[in-house]
Structure 1
Amino acid sequence: MHTPSHDWITTPLTAALLRGALDVERTAHGLLPHRLPARARAQFHDPQLAMAESQPSGVRLAFRTRATAIELDTLPTKRVYAGVPPRPDGVYDLVVDGRPAGSGSVAGGNTLTIDMTVGGAELTPGPVGTLRFAGLPDAEKDVEIWLPHDETTELVALRTDAPVEPAPDPGRPVWLHHGSSISHGSFAATPTTTWPALAASRGGVELINLGFGGSALLDPFTARALRDTPADLISVKIGINLVNADVMRLRAFTPAVHGFLDTIREGHPTAPLLVVSPLLCPIHEDTPGPSAPDFSRIAEGELRFKATGDPAERAAGKLTLTVIRDELARIVEQRRADDPHLHHLDGLALYGEQDAAELPLPDGLHPDAATHRRIGERFAALAFGEAGAFAQRN
C-alpha cells in the first residue's frame, strides 16, 4: 500500500462518491459497497447471494477533479476454485468524460478458495493493494472508476494530486436491471463490458445492475429492493437460476412472478417495465435442473456444468427454460390488459441457436466476453431502439 506524501490529497470515501450501489457498509478497512440493502441481506444468510451482491457489478466511483494522478487503495476478495486454473485479477476501468481512459488491477487481497467437489469455502486474509492511474489531462473532468464486476472490493483510500468533489448528476434516465450471473457479468472481460454496461452506454442511461450470480430466484426482498430504488426504466431477466437451483415448480412459479411484478409496481406504477425471458442454454432447454458441476474435465483444468433433472418430470411441473419462456410470455400478455407500460422480450432474440453455434457457452452456462458484447448490442437495439420498451424515455 502506498504511503501518502505531502503532494497527495486524501479524500474521505463516502456514499456520495459512489453510483450503482444500494448500500454501503463501514468495515475495519474502509467502505464496502452492497447491491442489496441491509434489510434484505438480514432476511436470508445465503453464502452465494452474500458473495454475489457484494461483488460491485456496475458500481463506480464518480467524481470531478483536475487531478492528473489518482491512487485507490482497495482490499479485494479473489475467488479460487480448487482444481481449476486461477482466475485473472479483477479489472478496474477508468472512464474520463464518458470515454474509456485505461484499466488496471489490484494485486494481493483476501483469497476465497472454493471446493465445488465438497461445497466448501475457506477465506484467507491478505493485504490491501493500490490501483494507480497517471498522466491524465490537467483540466476539470468527470472521472469514473468502475469496480471489478466479479470481485468483492472494500474501498480503503482515495488519493489525488488535486481536489475531488462528487460528480454532478448527469441528468440521464436511470435504468434498474435485475438478473442472474449473465447480467452480473459472468465471463465478461471488464466491468464496462458486461452486457448491461454496454447496453447502458449505448442507451445513454445510468445503470444500476442488480444481476446476482446464482441468485435471481424471485426473492421477495429483491423485489422490494427494486420497488424502493428510484429508477426511470426497469427490467427483470427471469428464469435460468430457477432451473439451476430447482427451487420451485410451475405451480409456485406463476404466482411468484405475479407477486414479484406486483411489488415492483408498488414503487414504480407507470415506469416502463421489461420482462426478459431466458437466453438459450442448451443443457436446460428441455431438461430440468438442478445444474451440477461436471468434473469430467477437471484434470485438464476445465469446469463445466450439466443438467441433472429428468425431462419426463416436466409433466409434474418441473421447470425448463422452454416452459419458463412460454409462461412469462403468457403472464405479460395477461397483465398488459391493465398495465400498458409492461413489456416482454424473448431472450432468444438476445442469444439463440445461431449464436450458440457461433459463440458457444464455454462452461455450458455462461457467455464469454464476445457474447456479452453481442447481447449488449442486441439489448440496446431491441429495448432502447425506436420500437423498444425504453424508447419513450431514451
Structure 2
Amino acid sequence: MPDWITVPVDPRLLRGALDVERTAHGIVPHRLPAWVRKQFPDPYLCRAEAQASGVRLVFRTRATAVDLDVLPTKTVFKGVPPSPEGLYDLCVDGRPAGATSVSGGNVLTVDLVTQSEHLHPGPPVTVRFAGLAPEEKDIAIWLPQTEAVELIALRTDAPVEAVPDRGRRVWLHHGSSISQGTTAGSPTTTWPALAAALGGVELVNLGLSGNALLDPFVARVVRDTPADLISVKIGINVVNADLMRLRAFTPAVHGFLDTVREGHPTTPLLVVSPVLCPVQEDTPGPLLPDFDGGTVRFRALGDPAESAGGKLTLRAVRDELARITAQRAAGDPNLYHLDGRSLYGEADAAELPLPDALHPDAAGHRRIGERFAGLVFAAGGPFAAGDG
C-alpha cells in the first residue's frame, strides 16, 4: 500500500468552475455563482449548472496513485432506463491517460414532463487511478459532465502543488445541453472539450441543459467572467421551450450581447446558431419527450403555419441571428457569426442521425468538436492564435 498524503480539496486546484459551495465534508463546484442560484432557484437550471461539465481538478505531482473521495449525484429520468455511471477522465500532461466510473452516491429522479424531483441519498465513493509514472507531471481529473459532484478528499502517494499559469487563452462558451455534453461519451469528449483541446485553450463551459434561454443573469455572468475568447450558441432551447416570439427574441439577443460587451468590449465574440435538428427546422415548439419501449424521442408540438405570425423555428432563429450579427459587426469588428449547420448539417444527420431526434451521440460530438476547431481555432478563424 502506498504512503498516502491527504490533500485538502482546494478550490485553487479547480478549473472550469465559477463558484464553490462549501459543505460539511468538502466542496461542490458550481458553474453559475451563488447570486444566480439565489435570484432564480429554478430546479432545472440549478440541476444543470451543478453538473460538472468542463470542471476538472488540476495539480502537479510525482504520485503513482491518486484517490479522490466524492459524493456524486446522478440524475435518472422517470420511465427511462438509467444511463451509464458518469466517467472521471484522467489526463496526464494534457493527454488522455485513463477513465473510470464508480457506483454509489445520490440518485436524483426527475420527471421529464413535470420536472419534479426526488432525491435518494447514497454513500460517498472513491475514484482511483494507479500505475502512474513516478516523474513530475500535470494531472487533470475531469468530473462527469452530467453529475453534480461533492469533492471530499484527495489522497496521493507524493506531494501535490498547483499547476502554474501556462499563459493559455481562456475560452468561455455558453450553450444548451449539446454544449453541456449530456449525450457525449465522457467529460473530455463533449464537443467543447474536444475543440478546446484541439485549440490549445482553457475551457470554461457554461453549456446549461435546457437553459440557454438568453437569461439576463447568464449574460451578466459572462460579462463578469475573465475570458480571452467568448462564444454563445443560442436558439435551440428558445424554440424547444416555445419561450418567445420573434418580436421578443430579437431584442433579447441584442440585450444579451450588449451586456456581454459591457465587460468584454473588444474580446473576440462568436455567435453560433443551432446545429441541424430536423424535428424543429420548420416546426415550432414546444418540444416534449415521447416514451417508447424504454427509449426517449423528442417531438415538436407546434403548428408550422404559426411561424408566419412570429412563432420561432430553427430556420427563423438562424436567419435572425445572421441578420443581427451582420448588423452589429458593422460597428464591432470582433463580433463573428457561425451557422450551426456547418458543424452538423444535412449530410451529417444522414450519416450520424440524432438518436433521440434532439441530441448528437458520441460520434456526433466528436464531429462537431473537430469541425468547430477547424473553423474557429485554425488559421483564419475568429479564434486563431495571435488574433484578437
* Band of TM-score, shorter chain: over 0.9
Q: Residues of 1 paired with 2:115 and 2:198: CA distance?
A: 39
- Three-state SS of the structure 2 residue aligned to 1:102 is strand
Aligned to 2:67: 71
1:304 aligns with 2:297: yes
Q: Residues of 2 paired with 1:20 and 1:195: CA distance?
A: 15
Check whether the contact 1:251–1:317 (CA below 8 A) recurs between aligned residues.
yes
**2:360 pairs with 367, 370, 385, which one?**
367
1:246 aligns with 2:242: yes
Q: Residues of 1 paired with 2:267 and 2:111: CA distance?
A: 43
User: Structure 2 matches for 1:243-392, cutoff 5 A?
Assistant: 243-295=239-291, 297=292, 300-392=293-385
Q: Residues of 2 paired with 1:122 and 1:393: CA distance?
A: 49
**2:169 pairs with 160, 173, 198, which one?**
173
Q: CA deviation at 1:10?
A: 0.7
Check whether the contact 2:44–2:115 (CA below 8 A) recurs between aligned residues.
no
Aligned to 1:133: 129
Identity in percent: 71
**What is the number of residues matched between the two proteins?**
387
Q: Residues of 1 paired with 2:300 and 2:25: CA distance?
A: 41
Q: CA deviation at 1:24?
A: 0.3
Normalised TM-score (structure 1) = 0.96
- Three-state SS of the structure 1 residue aligned to 2:193 is helix
Aligned to 2:106: 110
Q: Residues of 2 paired with 1:6 and 1:373: CA distance?
A: 38
- Three-state SS of the structure 2 residue aligned to 1:324 is helix
- Three-state SS of the structure 2 residue aligned to 1:176 is strand
Aligned residue identity for 2:62? R
Aligned to 1:21: 17
Check whether the contact 2:106–2:121 (CA below 8 A) recurs between aligned residues.
yes
CA displacement, residues 4-53 of structure 1 (integer Å, 9 cap, x when unaligned): x8821111112101000000001233110000011111111111110100
Aligned residue identity for 2:82? P
Check whether the contact 1:184–1:209 (CA below 8 A) recurs between aligned residues.
yes
Gaps of 5+ in 1: none
Aligned residue identity for 1:389? P
**2:196 pairs with 190, 200, 203, which one?**
200
- Three-state SS of the structure 2 residue aligned to 1:371 is helix
Check whether the contact 2:90–2:139 (CA below 8 A) recurs between aligned residues.
yes
Aligned residue identity for 2:196? A
Q: CA deviation at 1:316?
A: 1.6
RMSD: 1.2
Aligned residue identity for 1:43? Q
Aligned residue identity for 1:67? A
Q: CA deviation at 1:331?
A: 0.2
Aligned residue identity for 1:101? A
Check whether the contact 1:173–1:393 (CA below 8 A) recurs between aligned residues.
no
Q: CA deviation at 1:312?
A: 1.2
Aligned residue identity for 2:185? A
Check whether the contact 2:113–2:288 (CA below 8 A) recurs between aligned residues.
no
Q: CA deviation at 1:354?
A: 0.6
Aligned to 2:88: 92
Q: Residues of 1 paired with 2:141 and 2:217: CA distance?
A: 29
1:215 aligns with 2:211: yes
CA displacement, residues 101-147 of structure 1 (integer Å, 9 cap, x when unaligned): 11011210001112335543210000000000011111111100000
Q: Residues of 2 paired with 1:29 and 1:150: CA distance?
A: 22
- Three-state SS of the structure 2 residue aligned to 1:36 is coil
- Runs of 4+ that moved beyond 4 A: none
Gaps of 5+ in 2: none
